[in-house]
Amino acid sequence: MKPPPFAYARAGSVAEALELLADAGEDAKLLAGGQSLIPLLAYRLARPSHLVDIGRIPGLSDVATGPDGLRVQALVTHAALQSRADLTGPWRAVRECAGLIGHYPVRTRGTFGGSISHGDPSAELPVVALALEAEFVLRSPGGERLVRAEDFFAGPFMTVLEPTEMLVQARFPAAGAGRLSAFEEFSTRAGDFASAATAVALTPDETGRVHQVRIALGGVGPVPARAAEAEAALEGAPLDEAAIAAAARAAAADCRAGEDGALIPVLVERALRRIREER
């Protein structure tokens, strides 16, 4: 089907994008990689009056790791994240999950900011952002605000983004020495959205016990969620088979009533075993 008619403008800077968005009113939408929005237009599930194209704004495609943590700007593509060999240890889950998003042509166009802002409950990046405790920098004509990943997703395809706001960057806080992470998902066919997914991060001490355990689940609820019982089950424990099994059982219990958490234990187990191998 053809998309419904809309006005189109290409922004050359974030300031111009925000101005165009504000001028166009509540029915305007930002267009980044178009990998979610264009299909919605084609199926007439979205009927924006204006599209503000941010896809070619310069200086918005950087990934940086340093003492302050990991910074990912809005227009970084999934393929760019997938190809970053330096995303290891605490950031490995970011690289791993980016490589599992759709097919390669989708990954070369789809952007980090687009995936997070779209708020698809089956998307991979929101799960990783939650486990790694990312904060999103949201810019509007009034200034900037920081929103933690855990406060950002409001429901399926709903976020706390205001119509005049643009996500410009994600900040993943500095990880202490030795921190490790992994991402696992199940999808029925390669390249499909995840039926279920998990991102895990933790820090082993010199005795092998693990601390600051963060486990996030995706695809099993309206928004990605932390698995609090699984985190508690593992906190301070050695990363042995008994502790891994206990965390996996607890993660299934963390899925809310009515959610299909059947795949979750095996995904949590796989992520934890891979982390143990990496130590």
List contacts with ligand FAD (CB under 6 A).
29-37, 39, 74, 101-102, 106, 110-111, 113-115, 117-118, 120, 123-124, 161, 166-167, 192-193
Q: How far is the CB of 35 from ligand FAD (least distance, A)?
A: 3
- CB of 37 or CB of 237, closer to ligand FAD: 37
25: left (phi over 0), alpha (psi -120 to 50) or beta: left
Q: How far is the CB of 158 from ligand FAD (least distance, A)?
A: 11
- CB of 103 or CB of 256, closer to ligand FAD: 103
Say how far apart CA 9 and CA 17 lie, in whole Å.
9
Q: How far is the CB of 161 from ligand FAD (least distance, A)?
A: 6
Say how far apart CA 129 and CA 153 lie, in whole Å.
11
Tokens matching residue 115:
């995936």
Task: Give the bridge partners for 140, in sequence order.
Answer: 143
Helical axes 241-254 vs 264-278, angle rounded to 10°: 140
Phi, psi (degrees; rounded to nearest 5) at 165: -105, 155
- CB of 50 or CB of 214, closer to ligand FAD: 50
Q: Quick one: CA torsion of 15, 16, 17, 19, rounded to 10 degrees?
A: 90
Name the burial class of residue 242, with classes exposed (0-12), middle (13-18) and buried (19+) by CB atoms within 10 angstroms of its CB. exposed
Q: How far is the CB of 217 from ligand FAD (least distance, A)?
A: 15
Q: How far is the CB of 247 from ligand FAD (least distance, A)?
A: 25
* 229 neighbors 252 (Cβ within 8 angstroms): no
Say how far apart CA 273 and CA 196 lie, in whole Å.
18
- CB of 65 or CB of 115, closer to ligand FAD: 115
- CB of 35 or CB of 181, closer to ligand FAD: 35
Q: How far is the CB of 110 from ligand FAD (least distance, A)?
A: 2
Q: What's the N-to-C CA distance of the chain in angstroms?
A: 51
Nearest to ligand FAD by Cβ — which residue? 110
Question: CB neighbours (10 Å) of residue 49?
Answer: 14
Q: How far is the CB of 37 from ligand FAD (least distance, A)?
A: 3
- CB of 82 or CB of 117, closer to ligand FAD: 117
- CB of 65 or CB of 159, closer to ligand FAD: 159
* Residue carrying structure tokens 């009533």: 257
